[in-house]
Amino acid sequence: MAPILELVDVHKMFGDFVALERINLEIHDGEFVTIVGPSGSGKTTLIRMLVGMDQPTTGNILLRGERINEIHANQRPTCMVFQSLALFPHRSVGENIEFPLKIRAVPKASRRARAMELLKQLHLPESFYHKGIHQCSGGERQRVALARALAFDPEILFFDEPLSALDYRLRKTLEKELKAIQRSTGKTFVYITHSIEEAMVMSDRIAILRSGRMVQVGTPDEIYHRPRDAFVAQFMGEINRFSVQKASDGTLTDTDTGVRYQAPTRVADADGTALMIRPEQIRLLPEGEHMDNVLSGVLTQSYSLGSRTQYQVSVDGRTVLVELLGRANAGVGDAVRIGWPADSAMLLKA
């Protein structure tokens, strides 16, 4: 199937500064794709070009195979939910939702019917129709903004991290709701955020942006379990990182401590110099148990994460993170042995 949106070598310069470097991405009909990157990675520049408020310096943006680089935002069949939501403060909730329909001169009665339908779909009571925007809570505003965007009936709906200002619990609820709405409407959603957590929950695919380059594109599982490099691995969550050098026999030597590690059999990058292990892949070993890689150290800190516990273990002056379900038998100050099977680590390019 042909992609609904295609970016071909999209390049954006601001003066001499390269904001985006030859971005290639295909987005398919009905997909939920999230573009994730730290601040300054170029994600805002990218989304502005995708909605038509900016143009690439070179390269093409294709909507269903047609080049749309120069088509203005108000002529494109797509729309965006803004970071600030951009709800019109001088209009009621109903008038906000009906705005795109009013622009198309849809008669008042059918506009209203559609607005009511959308309120219902977004779990807002009908009485909200007459409410003022500033009478709505943060979560309600999110829903109104989404309703307004859905009233536009876009082919692709873009999101510029609209959830970032909300508190944690509300954000979690809305993330799931957003995903459910995307499923039920079957629309293509393209979301940008700096939060990988948000991306993991909602997305079919994630594209990771770093200083203007698309580093990796894949499903959340692919990216989590097979990151392309050390940056992506670190971006996806807390991880232990050892700098290593590879000997001719395939064993790895820690460049800081001289400790030898057994290399993972599946190696993402043959010239990798970063051996990375997620905290939950490391175990505290009881006396006598052996593993491919074992280190001895002292348990220095423990943090409760609710269902899990995270420990800091000091090994040769370095801190190694270990995460367990439940609690360990050892306490702070105890000497412990930690270990991991060779294949649960990743050897990546630094």
Which residues would be at the binding site for another protein (CB under 8 A)? 51-53, 72-74, 79-80, 82-84, 86, 88-95, 99-100, 103-104, 129-135, 148-149, 152
Nearer to another protein, 75 or 265 (CB): 75
Tell me how far, at minimum, the Cβ of 17 lies from another protein, in Å: 17
Distance CA 16, CA 32 (A): 33
Conformational region of residue 40, where left means phi above 0, alpha means psi within -120 to 50, and beta covers everything else:
left
CB 96 within 8 A of CB 88: yes
Amino acid identity, position 246: K
Please, what is the minimum distance in Å from the beta carbon of residue 161 to another protein? 13
Would you say 102 or 327 has its CB closer to another protein?
102
Rank residues 5 and 217 by Cβ distance to another protein and give the closer one. 5
What distance in Å separates the CA atoms of residue 181 and residue 16, rounded to the nearest whole number?
41
Distance, CA of 210 to CA of 216 (rounded, Å): 9
The CB-of-59 to another protein minimum distance in angstroms stands at 22
Nearer Cβ to another protein, position 115 or 214? Answer: 115
Q: Of the candidates 68, 58, 51, which has an alpha carbon nearest to the alpha carbon of residue 18?
A: 58
Of 130 and 327, nearer to another protein (C-beta) is: 130
Please say which residue, 50 or 282, places its beta carbon nearer to another protein: 50
Can you give 8-45 as a three-state secondary structure string? Answer: EEEEEEECCEEEEEEEEEEECCCCEEEEECCCCCCHHH
Smallest separation (angstroms) from another protein to the CB of 66: 18
DSSP code at position 281? G
Least distance to another protein, CB of residue 294, Å: 55
